[in-house]
Chain A
Amino acid sequence: MDLVAVSSNLLFVSFVSYLVATLFFGGAIKKSKTEKAYHNSKWGTIGLVITIIGFLAHLGYFFTRWAASGHAPLSNMFEFTTAFGMMLVGAFILLYIIYRTPSLGLFALPIAIIIISYATMFPREVTPLIPALQSKWLFIHVITTVIGESILAISAIAGLVFLVKNIDMTKKSKQRFWIEAVMYTLILVLGFVVTSTTFKVMNYEAEFTYIDKNQAPAEITYHVPPLFGMNEYEAMTPDAMTPWIEMPPIVNAQKLSSLVWAVAVGSVLYLLLRLIARKPIAAVFQPLAKKANSQLMDEIGYRSVLIGFPVFTLGALIFAMIWAHEAWSRFWGWDPKEVWALITWLFYAAFLHLRLSRGWEGEKSAWLAVIGFVIIMFNLIAVNLIIAGLHSYA
């Protein structure tokens, strides 16, 4: 077995460990009656041990892949997103050791699992580095950014626990609508995973030629049935479906088709779950959050912003500027990815100021943490895939 294969297997081990650990954290909450017992639950400890095993396997994936390719595996969407999932678990372990709260694990691990599944939908082969990425800063800049972002993400998870626990799911309200919207979005990601996997298993491919936005001819391969056609498309695969509608040149109809498939399948999934549960999905999870202490969740949320913000600044702004100066001759160029890193930073700066001086604690703070996570995800997904720039390495 070569190193690349070892590496993939280790990733699988970590994936399974996180699944199992989630169950134990669930057990820790179910079995404990008082908060004190819940803090010192044996189930929780076992959950933690399994999580750490998973995390070590995940690190093993990272370093074996590094050994195989000769560069830090942080150079494309699969590698970056996997590392994000890994560091999210790492950040969770850190905060679990400080505060010992199984309910945090019960929400953090499933989200890490969703993120890793999402990562595996991207091309997984080991790619050699283009000249711009051949630098020691690839590892230094990207890993610091990933660590910063994942610690910040923990604050969103603590915020989510806070909100799921405290929002009254029996009455119609704005809060109830939005927390359900968060749940729906998470299910859409699952929808994406389900569609991509299904068509991959079916080995679906449809090739087209089209005219790109610089008015040059180009080719594209769809991996899902083409609902939307590229600008002036012509089919090269004979039995592929005919797209419903042709899109203008600035729209990547291939990605749009994948997105619409994901949303459609995700929505069906959501409706099925609603039919089975007969209540909002957030209400299904509410009992799991009930035993969490709101004040504690608020503090974990705040603490993780405090820990993550300096790390993020260092990685996503300072190291980024140093490397940008080495590689592109300027430390700042208003590339969309750079701008969105700045936006993320400004957002958390606003978060801290609102909290310190305007007393935005509890629910407001929890919502802000969730929005911060949305911005991080936007920078990871939308800026890479939709807004083209220097950082489009997917």
Chain B
Amino acid sequence: MSNIKCQCGHENPYGTELCEKCGRPLSEKAKKSDIVDMRYEGSSRRSQTYKSSIVDKIWNFFSSVKIGVSIIVAVLAASAIGTIFPQKFYVPATTDAEYAEYYERLYGVVGKIYYQLGFYDMYNSWWFKVLIVMLATSIIIASIDRVVPLYKSLKKQRTRRHPSFMKRQRIYGEGDVENTEEALAKAEEKLKELRYNVKTENGAILAEKHRFSRWGPYVNHTGLIIFFAGVLLRGIPGFYVDEAMWLREGETRNIVGAPGYVLENRGFILENYTKDEAEEVFGEALDKVGSIVKTYQTDVTLYKEKEGALPGSDDLEKMQDYSIVVNKPLKFNGYNVFQMDYKLNELSTMTFHLVNKSTEKSLGEFTVDLSKPEKEYDLGNGSSVKMIGFYPDYDGVKDGEPYSKSPVPNNPAFIFQMKTPDKPEGERSFVAIRQTLEVEENDYAVKFASAETRNISGLTIRKDKTLYILLLGGLIFMIGVIQGSYWQHRRIWVQKDAEGHILVAAHTNKNWFSLRKDLDKVRESAVLPAYIDRQDPELDKQEQEGDEK
């Protein structure tokens, strides 16, 4: 495609609407319009120029703002639908059947449909991801389509513009003044005072301000793309660790997801507010609600396995003591360990007596550590108790065997083999909380004496190398959005045409009132013709004249 040569002699790329240099309308459309379309300076944009090939069509699709806004609205609508009922991860269920049951039980037919359409896991659905990818594509293509020609156009603009350009501006005025030279000189002086960047070219002034704000949208779009890239990286192994672990008081264990590091739980603390602290201020609230939690805290010690030590060995090097509370995670080597959950009073040990049922005499006691039960407990004097079966979370009998529904000692049950000097071959007994079963009548029994409990901390372990990328994206977005929003690109043209009339025109990408205020200030010191704002019929010309007095 050939370039378009303007009457002023400048060669414009094919598809240009307004000459880059002098502003003369080049296309039929621009020639016919009363106010020229100044967006992107009437420059030649790929999407408006090439429309035949398949690449053009894809390019044009994504560069359209109409399509961009449609995608935004689609993401918006999808996000909103996802908040109608709770998402999958907030529902206390694990299997598909349980999810289906949950949504139907609570939300009826609508809930069932919501589940079946996959809205219960909206933000992980393939089509939501497709929408996000389309949004990113649109941002990239639409920006490139605009920023390059806009940059070239603004760079090539000439100070003296053709009257046909001036006349087609939204703010325009023309007329004769007594002393044109003086008017131009005064205008130039005033515009400089208003901190405009002023250029002159024999009898023509171009005053320009804050052109950099035009780049704001493209800067903020770059920030968004960096942010999206950060989110994509999270899929790569090693960039992102997200694990959870339960750590009992007194326990020392390898940290899940952080190989080589070991954590000891020295104690979990749950503290409520008391009235002693601030009766006067918080008393009323505490009376009303009952109790309010003040702290969830896990006191930990962090260890590192010594270099060269075998995994799982006890060769540990102490790193630090720390108290993890909500809002203050333990931080080390890129990892964060958060206080997320807790369980109070889990059984840790149970102590039993071996007693003679008829005399009720104890033959000795033994303590079972529920996290590490031993096979046999020797009570001395020829008595011992052997543990044949251990069911930490006993939940009845299944297929003739006692059944444990989890490895957590919520409801421990045991089968003991009791050996005594009287009965060296041993007697069997099934012992659960408040329950003892015997196959045949025994002489001896294991009797519960006492139990100890401890608390468990629920910790989350995170490592996220993408955070800094996301933060960078956010920062660039903020710079761009501020640059584009808090400043406006303003231009004021004042020139003397061939017949000696003064022409005034002005343009801004936004906030026309403020531009008019600037123009009014110039007119206070320099005698310039009155102007019209073609999009504000309410602007009273009389008043404009009157403003000076």
B106 touching A313 by the CB < 8 A rule?
A: no
B327 touches A123 (CB 8 A): no
Tell me if A303 is interfacial: C-beta within 8 Å of chain B.
yes
B327 touches A334 (CB 8 A): no
Which of A114-122, A252-260, A338-346 is near enough to bind chain B? A338-346
A299 touches B513 (CB 8 A): yes
B296 to A36, Cβ gap below 8 A?
Answer: no
Name the prevailing secondary structure of the B interface residues.
Answer: helix
Minimum CB distance partner of B65 in chain A: A357
Query: Which single member of A34, A299, A310, A327 contacts B481 (CB below 8 Å)?
Result: A310
Residues of B within 8 A of A36 (CB): 543, 546-547
CB distance from A385 to the nearest CB of B (A): 14
Query: Quick one: CB contact mask for A310-324 with B, threshold 8 Å, 1 for yes?
Result: 100110011001100
Contacts of B482 in A (CB 8 A): 310
Q: Chain A's interface: helix, strand, loop or mixed, by majority? A: helix
Q: Is the CB of A346 within 8 A of B76?
A: yes
Check if B536 sits within 8 Å of A125, measured CB to CB: no
Q: Please determine whether B294 and A313 come into contact, CB atoms closer than 8 angstroms.
A: no
B292 touching A339, Cβ below 8 Å: no
B305-343 CB contacts (< 8 Å) to partner A? 325-329, 336, 338, 340
Q: What are the interface flags for A287-304 relative to B under an 8 Å C-beta threshold, 1 for contact and 0 otherwise?
A: 000000111100100110
A306 close to B485 (CB less than 8 A): yes
Q: In the complex, A135→B325 CA distance in Å?
A: 11
The total of chain B residues at the interface (CB under 8 A) is 73
B355 within 8 A of A: no
Q: Judging by beta carbons under 8 Å apart, are A358 and B65 in contact?
A: yes
Q: Report the bound CA distance from A190 to B276 in whole Å.
A: 40
B18-52: CB near A (< 8 Å → 1, else 0) gives 00000000000000000000010000000000000
User: B329: which A residues are within 8 A, CB to CB?
Assistant: 326, 329
B282 contacts which of A126, A294, A318 (Cβ < 8 Å)? A126
**Interfacial chain A residues near B73, Cβ < 8 Å:** 346, 350
Shortest C-beta distance, B161 to chain A (Å), equals 23
B123 is an interface residue with CB less than 8 A from chain A: yes
Tell me the chain A residues, 226-249 only, with Cβ under 8 Å from chain B.
248-249
CB of A97 closer than 8 Å to a CB of B: no
- Closest-by-CB residue of B relative to A340 is B83
Q: B82 to nearest A CB, angstroms?
A: 7
Choose the segment among B191-199, B358-366, B470-478 that binds chain A (4+ C-beta atoms closer than 8 Å): B470-478
> Is there an interface contact between B76 and A313, defined as CB atoms closer than 8 Å?
no
Q: Are A69 and B123 in contact (CB under 8 A)?
A: no
Task: Name the A residues within 8 Å of B486 (CB-CB).
Answer: 306-307, 310
Q: How far is the CA of A59 from the CA of B373 in the complex (A)?
A: 63
Q: Is the CB of B79 within 8 A of A128?
A: no
24 intermolecular pairs with C-beta atoms under 8 Å apart: A125-B284, A128-B273, A128-B286, A128-B292, A130-B292, A131-B327, A134-B327, A249-B106, A293-B536, A306-B486, A314-B478, A321-B470, A321-B474, A325-B467, A327-B327, A329-B340, A339-B80, A339-B82, A343-B80, A346-B75, A346-B76, A350-B72, A354-B69, A387-B84
Could you tell me which A residues sit within 8 Å of B by CB distance? 2, 4, 34-36, 68-69, 99, 123, 125-128, 130-132, 134-135, 137, 213-214, 248-250, 293-296, 299, 302-303, 306-307, 309-310, 313-314, 317-318, 321-322, 325-331, 333-334, 336, 339-340, 342-343, 346-347, 349-350, 353-354, 356-358, 383, 387-389
Could you list which residues of chain B lie within 8 angstroms of chain A, going by C-beta atoms? 39, 65-66, 68-69, 72-73, 75-76, 79-80, 82-84, 86-87, 89-90, 92, 106-108, 123, 242, 273, 277-278, 280-282, 284-286, 288-289, 292-296, 325-329, 336, 338, 340, 460, 462, 467, 470-471, 474, 477-478, 481-482, 485-486, 510-513, 533, 535-536, 538-540, 543, 546-547
